[in-house]
Amino acid sequence: MTATGAPARRPTARTRTALARTVVYALLAGYAVVSLFPFAWMVSGSLKTDRDMLDPGAFLPAHPTVHVLADTWRELDFFGYFLNSLKVTGLTVLGVLVVYSLASYAFGVLRFPGRTLLYRFFVALLFVPSVTMLLPVVLLESEYNLLGTHLGLVLPLVNGTAPLSILLLTTAFAGVPRELREAAMMDGAGEARVFWSVYLPAVRPALVTVAMLTAIPTWNEYLLSRVSLDRPGTFTLPIALQNLTNSGVPQYNVLMAGALIVVVPVIILFCCLQRYFVNGLVGAVKG
């Protein structure tokens, strides 16, 4: 505003604009530092030796080493936990895409008795606090021997995304021009064919958004995993990290190495698909 509002009347106006711009960038950089602060220390901590850890207030490691990272990855079996996380996240995303693109197609395109009621039901689930659902889900799963398995994580996690996924995908499906469907039907395509060949390609950006909005929280999921996974062979990365804190005095260089292994994949994923993610969040709120 300063730039447009003050056409160089006096020489001071220009310096004032320059000053304002400097202040703006300084403030932005300031918050960038705040934003990155714990990550920077995560990286520095993971490069420290046990002896360096005696002075955790020093940012630069006195004897930088990648041994802690390498040991965490190999000997502490973070590679295995990484694969478990990948499996749980992948299956959850797949489940969400299959189950809720089908349902949302029905909500957004087809007409049937009870549509509005059913839709409202799903969306109302948003108001249920996760802690209210956690205990009954765990009890239900232990009754059916699902507790502690990856499937036992995936199913409730898929269900947990129902409100948002249905909301986003229904809006996307409803926005596809109806003429496409009519034309395909005229050509003799069945409902499944119309769904698969016409509608799914048309809503691909929304599908990517939903996949992102599912993948990120699932990768970081902690509360349900913590109370359901009990065998180390099934641990996901957040639980493996939690497990490191349980062993007596926390060795922060090892913890930070583990933490780095948890956050790096999700940061990479975010950077690659940022556009979809940002648009999706905005779409979720604006509808």
Partner 1 sequence: MTTASPSTTGPAALAGPAAAGEATPTGRGGSAGRRRRVREAVTAYAFTAPAVLLFAAFGLYSLGYGLALSGATWNGFSPHWTWVGLDNYLDLLYRDPVYAPIVRSAAWHTLAVMIAVPLLVVAISFPLAVLLNSARRLRTLMRTVYFLPFVTSGIAVYLAWQYVLQPNGAVNALLRACGLGTLAQPQGFLGNPDTALPTVIVVMVWTAVPVGTLLYLTGLQSLDPCMLEAAALDGAGWWRTNRSVVWPLLRPITAATVLLNLREALQGFQTFLVMTGGEGAPGGHTDVLGLASYRLAFLEQLQPTLGLASALGWLLFAVAVLLALLNLRALRSTA
**Contact string 119-158 vs partner 1 (x = CB under 8 A):** xxxxxxxxxxxxxxxxxxxxxx--------------xx-x
CB of 178 to partner 1, least distance (A): 7
Nearer to partner 1, 69 or 256 (CB): 256
- Provide the H-helix boundaries in 114-203: 115-124, 130-143, 150-160, 162-174, 178-186, 191-193, 200-202
Token output for 57: 């207030």
Nearer to partner 1, 83 or 98 (CB): 98
CB of 197 to partner 1, least distance (A): 15
CB of 235 to partner 1, least distance (A): 12
Burial class (CB in 10 A: 0-12, 13-18, 19+), 118: middle
* 76 contributes a contact to partner 1 by CB under 8 A: no
* 191 contributes a contact to partner 1 by CB under 8 A: yes
**Which range binds partner 1 by CB under 8 A, 41-49, 62-70, 71-79, 201-209?**
41-49
Number of residues this chain uses to bind partner 1 (CB under 8 A): 112
* CB of 270 closer than 8 Å to CB of 220: no
Nearer to partner 1, 47 or 262 (CB): 262
Query: What is the distance between the terminal CA atoms of the chain, rounded to a whole angstrom?
Result: 30
CB of 260 to partner 1, least distance (A): 8
Sign of CA dihedral 252, 88, 73, 239: positive
